[in-house]
Amino acid sequence: MKIYVGNLNYDTNDETLLTLFKGHGEVESAKVITDKYSGRSRGFGFVEMPDSSEAQKAIEAINGQEVDGRTLKVNEARPKGSDGGGGGGRDRW
């Protein structure tokens, strides 16, 4: 299961994210997303856990927890583009 972790402190790194979730089960990967130009954290990341029941328990345990001075928002990641974003609200001919 892929897990979204939002509201990360800009100083939080991959290792911190990995350690946070390892206490709740096996972690395949933990990645803080960075800006491709500056290399600075964008304030969110993703964690992948192979066992969905462990992942669900981790979500419940970590969501709302304070890490590096920020209250985390944790939930199951949605597929890219599922929010219906884009568009400018006007038809273009």
Domains identified in the chain and CATH numbers: 2-65 (3.30.70.330)
Cα separation of 57 and 18, whole Å? Answer: 15
pLDDT surpassing 50 at residue 33: yes
pLDDT surpassing 60 at residue 92: no
Cα separation of 9 and 17, whole Å? Answer: 11
Cα separation of 68 and 50, whole Å? Answer: 26
Band the pLDDT of 36: cuts 50, 70, 90: very high
Interval 56-76: pLDDT, tens: 999 999 999 999 999 999 999
